[in-house]
């Protein structure tokens, strides 16, 4: 005797909201990659501060980087809360981002203060386009207005970091074009990987 197939209920989005499997997956991927990105930013700034705090005459730029790092810490803490509250699996690549972020920060600072600022500009260029894409997607999901507002607020902080780094001479860094292109490529790759893994 044949049994009629039963319909599976629509999966819930984090927080108990109903939605499509795709929408829930997209939100989880957004939170995972943003959490990973803010962690990476903290590691970049930690590497830069380890070098800049020891360079004679780098006090102002070190203070600027410390201020940016403090804002990134707030972003990271916010996404950490979302990861926990929404049961989002963090990226398994975090140990790699821990080392890679610190190494990038330290290496660019060793190249000089302007190279450290060039690193910030390159990273924030990618984060700006990344957050803009997320905001566009979130605009179509009415139940995610709060997440959209958070991403918009953090995006503005990132744009402020970019503007400050430009004002501090980022474009005067040695090999600025090559350095920026390489960092942007690395960031885009990290984003793609962290969304999935």
Query: Tokens 């939605």 map to which residue?
Result: 19
Q: Taking 90 as the threshold, does the pLDDT of residue 3 lie above it? A: no
Contact by Cβ (8 Å): 162, 124 = yes
Distance CA 127, CA 131 (A): 6
The 10s digit of each residue's pLDDT in 77-130 is 999 999 999 999 999 999 999 999 999 999 999 999 999 999 999 999 999 999
Q: Which pairs count as long-range contacts for 150-157, CB under 8 Å and 24+ apart, including other chains?
A: 150/78, 151/30, 151/34, 154/34, 154/75, 154/78, 155/127, 155/128, 155/131, 157/71, 157/75
What's CA 50's distance to the chain center, in Å?
A: 21
Contact by Cβ (8 Å): 168, 61 = yes
pTM here is 0.85
The 10s digit of each residue's pLDDT in 65-77 is 999 999 999 999 9
Distance CA 167, CA 157 (A): 15
Q: What is the 3-state secondary structure (H, E, C) of 13-71?
A: CCCCCECCHHHHHHHHHHHHHHHHHHHHHHHHHHHHHHHHCCCCCCHHHHHHHHHHHHH
What is the pLDDT, as a whole number, of residue 8? 36
What is the pLDDT, as a whole number, of residue 9? 39
Rounded to the nearest 10°, the torsion over CA 32, 139, 141, 75 is 30
Mean pLDDT of the chain: 89
Q: Phi/psi of residue 18, each to 5°?
A: -80, 150
Using DSSP, state whether 162 is helix, strand or coil: helix
**What are 155's two structure tokens?**
């995006």
Q: Taking 50 as the threshold, does the pLDDT of residue 164 lie above it? A: yes
């Amino acid at each position: 005797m044949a049994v009629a197939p039963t319909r599976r209920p629509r999966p819930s989005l984090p927080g108990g909201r109903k939605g499509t499997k795709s929408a829930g997956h997209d939100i989880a991927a957004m939170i995972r990659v943003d959490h990973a990105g803010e962690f990476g930013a903290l590691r970049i700034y930690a590497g830069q501060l380890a070098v800049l705090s020891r360079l004679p005459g780098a006090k102002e730029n070190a203070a600027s980087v410390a201020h940016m790092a403090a804002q990134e810490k707030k972003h990271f803490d916010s996404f950490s809360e979302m990861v926990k509250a929404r049961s989002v699996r963090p990226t398994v690549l975090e140990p790699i981002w821990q080392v890679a972020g610190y190494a990038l920060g330290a290496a660019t600072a060793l190249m000089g203060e302007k190279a450290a600022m060039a690193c910030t500009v390159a990273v924030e260029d990618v984060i700006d386009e990344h957050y803009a894409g997320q905001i566009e997607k979130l605009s179509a999901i009415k139940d995610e207005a709060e997440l959209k507002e958070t991403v918009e607020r953090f995006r503005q902080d990132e744009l402020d970091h970019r503007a400050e780094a430009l004002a501090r001479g980022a474009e005067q860094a040695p090999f600025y074009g090559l350095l920026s292109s390489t960092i942007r490529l690395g960031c885009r790759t990290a984003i793609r990987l962290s969304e999935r893994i």
